[in-house]
Structure 1
Amino acid sequence: MGMFSRMTDIVHANINAMLDKAEDPQKLIRLMVQEMEEALAHARCVSAQYIAQKKQLNRNADSLNRSAQRWQEKAQRAVEKGNDSLARAALKEKQSQTRQFEILQEEIAQIDSQLDKLTDDIEQLGHKLAEARQKARMLSQREHTVAAQLKLRNQAQQESVQRAMGKFEAYQQKVDQLEAQVEAYDLGSGSASLEAQFAELEQDESIEEELARMKKSRAA
């Protein structure tokens, strides 16, 4: 299993745990981005360790290669001097250095393979992280847009209610004014009727008094 697969499993596990907690979408996206950033940072750290290890192995391999060449030269001089036993000992050391060199070369090849896979994993994770960040920005923008729309709709609704209430109050005031006019008219009409009745009563009394005077004068 590659490094990216392990990191992806870890990220997915953490995301599933967050989903189980029913986190809000924006917070969930932020946590996803954070998890992927941490995974990417870990992958880069491992890559740096591989590179440092490869450099050290290359230094050791170069040292072994130079040592093998020196033993080869010593064996050649021993042969030239006719000392076969010394030449054999030198060739033995050369073979030992060569075997160690070959082992290091295999380890370096394995590290190169791991670095190639890790580089691909980092690249894939980097793309995924960029997508997640883009989705986070889009979600944040959508949330702000929806919040602004809701605010405007609430304001519009409140203004509509206020207008309706204003129209109702204006209509109620007109009705109150009409009722007041009717009441004022009724009060005026009642007062005029009473005055007329009192005037008529006074007129009747005057007539009766004058009639009484006429009867008295005739009787005298």
Structure 2
Amino acid sequence: MGIFSRTRDIVAANFADLVEKAEDPAKMIRMIILEMEETLVEVRASAARTIADQKEMRRHIAKLEGLQASWTEKAELALSKDREDLAKAALVERQKATDMADQLKAEVGVLDDALRASEEDIAKLQTRLREARTKQSSVQTRLESANNRVRLREMYAGAKTEDAFSRFDVLERRVDDAEGRAEAMGLGVQKTLEEEISDLRASDRVDAELAELKRRLNANSNREG
């Protein structure tokens, strides 16, 4: 079942209230716009049928007016020939054509009123459709902003970030231990060339591991952003 039952409901609708009460605001706005577009198509189709009916009636009116002129001419001819009976019969037929033309003109007038009402409805629907699309754009912008804030908060306060920094702490502690051992071993003892080179290699491995962890963290942050 649709949100609206007729054009009047759409014109009187409070979009803000409908959106605020909806569980999924974006979905509600899409539904509103879809139903409004469908209603607009229906109103335009109805207006098109009204215009077509008017054109057909005006063609009939033109034919009837031509028929009236023809019967008038025939009545005049009959009178000129002293055939009053024929003239009277011709005038009766002319009156029938006149009555039919008047009836069609009245129906055209009714259709004129209906067409004006349709034009007003179309204008109102178009205005409300623009409002709904503007509202849709606003809601989408707000949702995108909210999602971006969530991602940013996860980046600087999320579990992944906390875990990464805890690993940094462990690695830095390992560096501290390695440096401490190196310094302790060097107290009062002259290191051999082989020992000094070995210490450099150990320090390089820790530094490389720390650099690789930082690289992965930066890559993950860029993908999430």
**Same-fold status (TM-score > 0.5):** yes
Larger Rg, first or second structure (1 or 2):
1
Following the alignment from structure 1 to structure 2, what is the Cα–Cα distance between the partners of residues 122 and 78?
A: 54
Q: How do 1:135-146 and structure 2 match up within 5 A?
A: 135-146=135-146
With normalisation by structure 1, the TM-score equals 0.68
Following the alignment from structure 1 to structure 2, what is the Cα–Cα distance between the partners of residues 23 and 175?
A: 54
Following the alignment from structure 1 to structure 2, what is the Cα–Cα distance between the partners of residues 113 and 5?
A: 22
Structure 1 runs of 4+ off > 6 angstroms? Answer: 10-13, 174-177
Whether 1:8 and 2:8 are equivalent positions in the alignment is yes
Structure 2 vs 1, CA of residues 23 and 130 (structure 1 numbering), >3 Å: closer, same or farther?
same
- My pick for the range that moved more, 160-169 or 62-71, is 160-169
Q: Is the 8 A contact 2:75 2:86 kept in 1?
A: yes
- My pick for the range that moved more, 21-30 or 57-66, is 21-30
State the SS of the aligned residue for 1:82.
Answer: coil
Alignment match, 1:24: 24
Following the alignment from structure 1 to structure 2, what is the Cα–Cα distance between the partners of residues 118 and 149?
A: 46
Where is the helix percentage greater, Structure 1 or Structure 2?
A: 1
Q: Is the 8 A contact 1:29 1:136 kept in 2?
A: yes
Following the alignment from structure 2 to structure 1, what is the Cα–Cα distance between the partners of residues 27 and 86?
A: 75
Q: Is the 8 A contact 2:11 2:128 kept in 1?
A: no
- My pick for the range that moved more, 160-169 or 125-134, is 160-169
Whether 1:104 and 2:104 are equivalent positions in the alignment is yes
Deviation of 1:162 after TM superposition, in Å, equals: 5.3
- My pick for the range that moved more, 141-150 or 66-75, is 141-150
Structure 2 vs 1, CA of residues 6 and 174 (structure 1 numbering), >3 Å: closer, same or farther?
closer
Q: Is the 8 A contact 1:11 1:32 kept in 2?
A: no
Alignment match, 1:40: 40
Deviation of 1:134 after TM superposition, in Å, equals: 1.6
Q: How do 1:184-199 and structure 2 match up within 5 A?
A: none
Number of corresponding residues: 176
Deviation of 1:72 after TM superposition, in Å, equals: 0.9
Alignment match, 2:51: 51
Deviation of 1:6 after TM superposition, in Å, equals: 3.2
Show CA shifts across 1:160-219 (max 9, x none): 635763675478669978x989xx9xxxxxxxxxxxxxxxxxxxxxxxxxxxxxxxxxxx
Following the alignment from structure 2 to structure 1, what is the Cα–Cα distance between the partners of residues 10 and 143?
A: 28
Structure 2, unaligned stretches of length 5 or more? Answer: 186-225
Q: Is the 8 A contact 1:68 1:95 kept in 2?
A: yes
Show CA shifts across 1:3-40 (max 9, x none): x9932337989x9xx98x95400000000000100100
With normalisation by structure 2, the TM-score equals 0.66
Q: How do 1:86-165 and structure 2 match up within 5 A?
A: 86-158=86-158, 161=162, 165=166
Following the alignment from structure 1 to structure 2, what is the Cα–Cα distance between the partners of residues 11 and 168?
A: 63
Q: Is the 8 A contact 1:11 1:35 kept in 2?
A: no
Show CA shifts across 1:17-66 (max 9, x none): x98x9540000000000010010010011011101111111111111111
Q: Is the 8 A contact 2:47 2:115 kept in 1?
A: yes
Alignment match, 1:73: 73
Following the alignment from structure 1 to structure 2, what is the Cα–Cα distance between the partners of residues 92 and 10?
A: 52
Could you tell me which amino acid in structure 1 is paired with residue 126 of structure 2? G
Following the alignment from structure 2 to structure 1, what is the Cα–Cα distance between the partners of residues 74 and 149?
A: 87
Deviation of 1:137 after TM superposition, in Å, equals: 1.7
